[in-house]
A and B are shown apart, each in its own frame.
Chain A
Amino acid sequence: MDPNSFRTVIGLEVHVQLKTDSKMFCSCSSDYADSEPNTLVCPVCLGMPGVLPVVNRLAVESTLLTGLALGCHISSESKFDRKNYAYPDLMKWYQISQYDMPLCGRGSLKISLDDGDKQIGITRVHLEEDTAKMIHSESRVGHKVSLIDANRSGVPLMEIVSEPDMTSPEEARVYLTTLRNILLYLDVSTANMQEGAFRCDANISIWPAGMDTGDVKVEIKNMNSFRAVFRALAFEEERQSRVWVKTGQPPEQETRGWVEASGETVSQRSKEYAHDYRYFPEPDLPPLKVTDHLISSLRSAMPELPESVFKRLTECGLRSSDALQLIDDRPLLIFFDEAMNEYPQPQRLANWILNNFVQELRDSETNLASNPVAPRGFVELLQLEDKGHINSKMTAELLGRMVSSGRSAKELVAETGGQITDDDELQEMVSKIIKDNPQAVADFRAGKKQAAGFLVGQIMKATKGRANPGMVNKQISKELGV
C-alpha cells in the first residue's frame, strides 16, 4: 500500500459558548470567567429536585442567526431533548440538548484556500447547555479529591457540526478560522479558544486511493488551539496511514485525546464503550416554534459578514492581503471603516493603519480599545500631511506621540511647529550645511552621488525632521550645481 496515496476525510464538531447575560435555562449570569467557584448558581443550574428549565430567548436567536449566516435550513418547529449520561460535572445527569430536530439543519461554509474556494457542508447547528467544571486534585493531607465548580453549568452552548468534507489538516484550520470570524462578526460569542468559548472535536479517517470511504473514524478531543487541531490531525493522518500500511485495514474506531506536551494522540475510549445517550424529548419544554416573522427580523438584523467585507474592501481598491488582515481583526476593521467615512482613500488608510498604527500599539503595549487615538484624530493626522503641514516622517513620529500621550495631532504640531517649507529659510540652512561639510561636497563633486543624501540627512537632523525633504533635495541639487 502506497503511503502517499491516501485520501483524508475530516469532519469537525465545534462547541461555541454564546454571549448572553444569563444562562441557558435560568437567570444566573453566564459571565463566569473571573468568578469565585460556585457563586453563579441557583437551584435550576444545580439541578436541584423540582426545578424546571426556561429557555433563554437570546440563545435561541443567536443560534438561528448563526444558522442563517451558514445558509442552514431552518424548520418552523424545533425541540429540546434529554441526553442521558452519568458524569459528576453534569448536574442533572442529563444534558438538555437537541437530537433530531435541531434549530438549524443543512447549510454550508465557504473557505478560501490557496488553490481556490471550497464549500464545506454544515450538517446542523443546535443548542444545548454547558456542564460544570471538574477539577481533580489532592487535599493537604494527600487525599485524592474531585472538586466541582458549577458556575459554567447551564451556560448556553451552540454546537456546529460539519460534514466530513475536509481533506487536510490545513483545510480544517481554515474552516475553523473562517467559522470563528463569522461568529465574531455575528457577535454571538467571544469565540475565545483559550477560555473555552470555542472548542473543537475532530473526526478523521483516511482511505487508500480507489477504496470507498467507510464508516470507521477516529474522534479526537482535547485540542485547545487552532495549532493543536492542525497538529493533532497531521499526527493522526500519519498514524492512521501507518496502521493501513501495516495491517491493510482501517484503524480501530475510537476516541483519542491530543496530548499537547508530547505532540501525539492517545486512546481514550474504544467503540465497545461508546455511550448510549438514550435521547428522548425534553418533557419540561414545549416544542419551539420558529416563526417567519422571527426569521425575517433576524435576517434584517444580520451584520455584514467577512465574505462581503472582503468583497467591499477589494472592490474599493484595497489589496486583498490588506483586506484579509483587516477582516481578521474586527476592531481594526471597524476603526478603518469609521476612518474611511471621513477619509475615503482606502489603500493609504490601510497602509497607515496596518503598518504604523498597529506597530505603535504594539510598541506602547496597548490595544485598540484602550488607546486614545480615535478614527477622527487619525484622519486629522493624515490630512495634515496631505495639506503639507507635516511630512510623512513627521506623520509617523506624531502618530507615536498621539498613542502615548493621547493628545491630538494639531495640538502637537502647534507645539513643535509644522513642516518647514519657507524657501528662504531652507536656502539659509542649505548654504550653512554646504559650508560646514566641505568633505561631503568634495565627495559629491568627485562622483559620490550618495554624498547629497548625507547632506539632506544633516538638514533633516538639524530640523528634527521638520524640513520638507523634497524641497531640501531640490535646493541642495541646485546649490551643488547638478
Chain B
Amino acid sequence: MTAHEASGLLRKREVSSVELTEAVLGRIGEVEQSIGAHISVTSDLAMKQAAAADLAIQGGAVHSLCGIPIGLKDVLSTADVETTCGSRMLEGFVPPFDATVVGKLREIGAVFTGKLNLDEFAMGSSTENSAFHVTRNPWDLTRVPGGSSGGSAAAVAACECMVSLGSDTGGSIRQPASFCGVVGIKPTYGRVSRFGLVAFASSLDQIGPIARDVKDAAIVLEAISGGDPKDSTSLHVEVPNYSEVLGRSIEGVRVGVPLEYFGSGLDDDVKELVLKAIDQLDDLGAKVVDVSLPHTEYALATYYLLAPAEASANLARYNGVKYGYSDLDSSDVNDMMAFSRARGFGEEVKRRIMLGTYALSSGYYDAYYLKAQKVRTLIKADFDEVFQNVDLLVTPVSPSVAFPLGDRVDDPYGMYMSDVMTIPASIAGIAGLSVPCGFAEGLPVGLQMLGPALSEPILLQTAYAYEQEAKVSSKAPFLDV
C-alpha cells in the first residue's frame, strides 16, 4: 500500500494510524531478520505517535502524512532517539535535537517506525559499510540494496515503512532506489534543509524521499522542502504544490538523452530498458533529442576529491572528547583522541578521510582540491548549457542492477563506479530522481531523470506520466503482501 492510499483510508476512518503502525511493526518483525533494513526500530515512539495521529485525524488533521509510518535514514538527527550514522563512533549517541526535516514530519503527525541502515557516514554504494550489519535487497537476498541509503530503499521495498527519508551525496538515494525498485528523489541542493543531517560532504549532501510511487515521493518532498534559517545554504524559495502537477500531460516536454551516459560500462540489459523507457516518453508526446555533456567523464574523479576533502573536516569532530566512542584506556588526551578515531571509524571512512586530507594538504591543494573545484564549474556549465534546450535529461541510474553481496567490498574503485551516473548531478547541485523502468535478470532497474535547479515539478510530472504508462510492478517476489 502506498502512503497516499493509506492516507485516504485514514481519513475515511477505515483504518487507524495505530492499526497501520501495528501492521508495519508486525511486518518489520516478520522480515527484518532477512532484510536488515533497520539499525533501530522505534516501536514505542511509533505507537505513541500513531495514537496521537489518530486523535489529530479525529480533530480534523488533513496532512496526507499524518499517521503514516515513515522510516528515517540513521544519519538524520532525531531528538531522544539514537542516531548512529552506521558507525561504531556514534553507537549509543542520542542527539538532543531533531533535524529540521524530522521536526517538520513530527509536526504534521508522521509516525517514526525506525532508523534505517546505511553505509557508515553515508560513505558507500552498497550499505555493506555499515558498522552493524548488511542490508539485503528484498528482490534477491543475496544482493546488495545499493547505498548509502540502502536501508531506506530496502525498507520501503519490503513494506517495512510506507515511505522513508534518505540522503544523497553522489547518488545515495537514486542508486538504492533503482536497485530496490522504488522511487527516490535527490532534490536541488538547498531545496531541503540540511540542518540535523550528519554531514558527509556539505556542498553535495541533500535529503530526499524514497517511496513506492511518484505521488508518495511528491507528497514527502513537499513536506520536507523549504528554506531554513538554520541552514544558510538552503533556498528561500516558495515550495510548489508538487502533487498538483501529477497527471498533467508531458506533451511537448523536451527530453535530452546525453550520449555520455550510454557508453561502455553500461550493462546491455539496463541500456535496453532505459532506451525502451525513452521510447515510451516519446510516445507520451515528449520531444526526445540527443545531447552531450562533455565533461561527464571527469565527474567521478572530481567527486572523489571534493567529497572526501569536505568529509575530512566534517568527520574531524569525532575525537572521543564530547560524545560517541571514546577510547578510555588511553593514558592521555592525545592518545585517547587518536585511538578513538582509529577504532571508532571503519575502513572506508578512514580511506576517505585520508584521501581528503591529502587533497587539501599544502603542496597538493592546487593540483587536487582546486583543480577539482574548477572541473566542478565545467560540469555545472555542461548542464547549464544543455538545459537551455531541454527541460530534463533521461539516463540510467547505475550501469548495472544490484550486485551480489561481497562482490565489490575489496574493490573500492568498482564500488565507486556504480555511482558514475548519479554523481554529475550531485556535483552540479541540480535535481534528480530515480523511477523504476523494468527488470533485468529479475532485478529492478531505475530510470534517472535530471532537471535544472528547482525543476522538481517537471521531473515529477514526467516521472508520474511515465509511471502511469509503464506500470512497472513494485512488488518484490520475496514479499507476498
Contact A52 B316 (CB under 8 A): no
Contact B337 A50 (CB under 8 A): no
Does A332 touch B at the CB level, under 8 Å? no
**CB < 8 Å neighbour of B199 from A50, A91, A278, A285:** A50
A284 on the interface (CB 8 Å rule)? Answer: yes
A-binding segment of B23-31, B91-99, B177-185, B212-220: B91-99
Taking CB as reference atom, which chain A residue is nearest B309?
A280
Q: Is the CB of B197 within 8 A of A54?
A: no
Contacts of B95 in A (CB 8 A): 43, 48-50
Residues of A within 8 A of B379 (CB): none
In the assembled complex, the Cα of A211 lies from the Cα of B84 at a distance in Å of 61
What residues of chain A lie closer than 8 Å to B99, measured between beta carbons? 50
Given A43-B95, A49-B90, A283-B310, also A86-B232 (CB < 8 A)? no
Contact for B357 among A51, A278, A285, A286, CB less than 8 A:
A278
Complex Cα gap A303–B85 (Å): 51
CB neighbours of A55 from chain B (8 A) = 232
Asked if B322 contacts A91 (CB within 8 A), the reply is yes
- Chain A residues whose C-beta falls within 8 Å of the C-beta of B337 in the assembled complex: 86, 88
CB pair A82–B199 under 8 Å, yes or no, is no
| B381 at the A interface (CB under 8 A) | no
**Contacts A51-B195, A284-B232 given: A94-B313 contact, CB under 8 Å?**
yes
A93 sits at the interface (CB 8 A) = yes
Number of interface residues of A (CB under 8 A): 30
Query: Which residue among B310, B321, B357, B365 has the maximum number of chain A CB atoms within 10 Å of its CB?
Result: B321
B residues near A48, Cβ cutoff 8 Å: 95-97, 322-323
The answer to whether B362 and A53 touch across the interface, beta carbons within 8 angstroms, is: no
Which residue on A lies nearest to B193, using beta carbons?
A52
Answer whether residue B371 sits at the interface, using C-beta atoms and an 8 A cutoff: no
Q: How far is the CB of B216 from chain A (nearest CB, A)?
A: 25
Q: Which of A93, A278, A280, A285 contacts B319 (CB 8 A)?
A: A93
A50 engages B197 (CB within 8 Å): yes
Interface core residue of B203, B309, B316 (most chain A CB under 10 Å): B316
A278 x B360 contact (CB < 8 A): yes
From known contacts A276-B362, A280-B360, A285-B232, infer whether A49 and B316 are also in contact, taking CB-CB under 8 Å: no
| Beta-carbon contacts under 8 Å, B282-310 to A | 309-310
User: For residue A282, which residue of chain B has the nearest CB?
Assistant: B202
Contact A92 B361 (CB under 8 A): no
- Residues A286 and B232 in contact, CB atoms below 8 Å apart: yes
Whole-angstrom CA separation of A51 from B196 in the bound complex: 6
Does residue A144 face the partner (Cβ distance < 8 Å to B)? yes
Does A50 lie within 8 Å of B229, measured CB to CB? no
**CA–CA, A144 to B310, complex, Å?**
35
CB distance from A273 to the nearest CB of B (A): 14
Given known pairs A43-B97, A91-B317, A148-B321, the reply for A53 and B232 (CB within 8 Å) is yes
Interface residues of A in 60-104 (CB under 8 A from B): 82, 84, 86, 88, 91-94
Residues 65-120 of B at the A interface (beta carbon under 8 Å)? 76-77, 83, 85, 90, 93, 95-97, 99
Whether a CB of chain A sits under 8 angstroms from the CB of B279 is: no
| Known A-B contacts A88-B321, A278-B361; A43 and B90 likewise in contact (beta carbons under 8 Å) | no
Given contacts A43-B97, A47-B322, A55-B232, contact A278 B362 (CB under 8 A): yes
- Enumerate chain A residues within 8 angstroms of B316, measured Cβ to Cβ: 84, 86, 92-94
CB–CB A286/B317 < 8 A: no
A361 within 8 Å of B (CB atoms)? no
Count residues of chain B with CB under 8 A from any CB of chain A. 44
A146 CB-CB contact with B under 8 Å: yes
B230 within 8 A of A: yes
Contacts of A84 in B (CB 8 A): 312-313, 316, 360
The residues of B that contact A93 with a CB separation of less than 8 Å are 313, 316-317, 319
Contacts of B229 in A (CB 8 A): 54
Residues in A neighbouring B202, C-beta threshold 8 A: 283-284
Nearest CB on A from B203, distance (A): 4
Interface: A46 (CB within 8 A):
yes
Q: Which residues of A contact B383 (CB under 8 A)?
A: none
**B339 contacts partner chain A, Cβ-Cβ < 8 Å:** no
> Any chain A CB within 8 A of the CB of B198?
yes
Residue pair B313, A49 in contact (C-beta under 8 Å): no
Closest chain-A Cβ to B18's Cβ sits at a distance in Å of: 31
Question: B96, A49: Cβ atoms under 8 Å?
Answer: no
**Pick the contact of B93 from A49, A278, A285 — CB < 8 Å?**
A49
| Contact indicator A283/B203 (Cβ below 8 Å) | yes
Neighbouring B residues of A286 by C-beta, 8 Å: 232-233
How many whole Å from B354's CB to the nearest CB in chain A? 12
Indicate whether A52 sits within 8 Å of B194 (C-beta atoms), given known contacts A84-B313, A284-B232.
Answer: yes
Question: Which B residue sits closest to A150, measured CB to CB?
Answer: B322
Which of B203, B232, B233, B323: most chain A CB closer than 10 A? B232
> At the interface, yes or no: B332 with Cβ under 8 Å from chain A?
yes
Cβ of A121 to closest chain B Cβ, rounded Å = 26
Q: Contact check: which of A54, A92, A146, A279 meets B317 at CB < 8 Å? A: A92
User: Cα distance A179–B313 when bound, in Å?
Assistant: 34
B385 adjacent to chain A (CB < 8 Å)? no
A86 to B319: give the CA distance in the assembly, Å: 9
Contact A49 B83 (CB under 8 A): yes
With the chains together, A146 CA to B195 CA distance in Å? Answer: 31
A276 touches B361 (CB 8 A): yes
Q: Which residues of B contact A280 (CB under 8 A)?
A: 309-310, 313, 360, 365, 369
Q: A52 — which chain B residues lie within 8 A by C-beta?
A: 194-195, 230-233
Q: Would you call B333 an interface residue if the criterion is a C-beta within 8 Å of the partner chain's C-beta atoms?
A: yes
Which residue on A lies nearest to B99, using beta carbons? A50
Within the complex, the shortest CB–CB distance from A145 to chain B, in Å, comes to 9
- Min C-beta distance of A358 to chain B, whole Å: 49
Taking a contact as CB atoms closer than 8 A, the residue among A50, A86, A144, A276 that contacts B195 in the complex is A50
Cα distance A308–B325 in the bound complex, in angstroms:
58
Q: Which of B226-252 contact A (CB under 8 A)?
A: 229-233
Cβ contact within 8 Å between A88 and B97: no
- How many Å lie between the Cα of A280 and that of B359 in the bound state? 10
How far, in whole Å, are A405 and B77 apart by their CA atoms in the complex? Answer: 61
**A-side contacts of B76, CB under 8 Å:** 50
* Residue in A46, A48, A52 with the greatest tally of chain B CB atoms within 10 Å: A52
- The smallest beta-carbon distance between B228 and chain A, in angstroms, is 9
In the assembled complex, the CB of B456 is this many whole angstroms from the nearest CB of chain A, namely 21
Q: A54-B232, A283-B310, A284-B202 are in contact. Are A49 and B332 (CB under 8 A)?
A: no
Report A30 CB to chain B, min CB distance, Å.
Answer: 18
Bound together, the chains give a CA A286 to CA B203 distance in angstroms of: 10
What are 15 sample pairs from A and B whose C-beta atoms fall under 8 A apart?
A: A43-B95, A43-B97, A47-B317, A49-B198, A50-B99, A50-B196, A84-B313, A84-B360, A88-B321, A93-B316, A146-B333, A148-B321, A278-B360, A283-B202, A285-B232
Chain A interface residues toward B at CB < 8 A: 43, 46-55, 82, 84, 86, 88, 91-94, 144, 146, 148, 276, 278-280, 283-286
Contacts A94-B316, A276-B361, A283-B203 known; 13 new A-B pairs at CB < 8 A: A46-B322, A48-B95, A48-B323, A49-B323, A50-B77, A50-B195, A50-B199, A52-B194, A52-B230, A82-B313, A86-B316, A86-B319, A284-B199
Contact surface of B with A, Cβ cutoff 8 Å: 76-77, 83, 85, 90, 93, 95-97, 99, 194-199, 201-203, 229-233, 309-310, 312-313, 316-319, 321-323, 332-333, 337, 357, 360-362, 365, 369
Cβ-closest 7 pairs across A and B: A93-B316, A283-B203, A283-B202, A278-B360, A49-B198, A50-B77, A50-B196
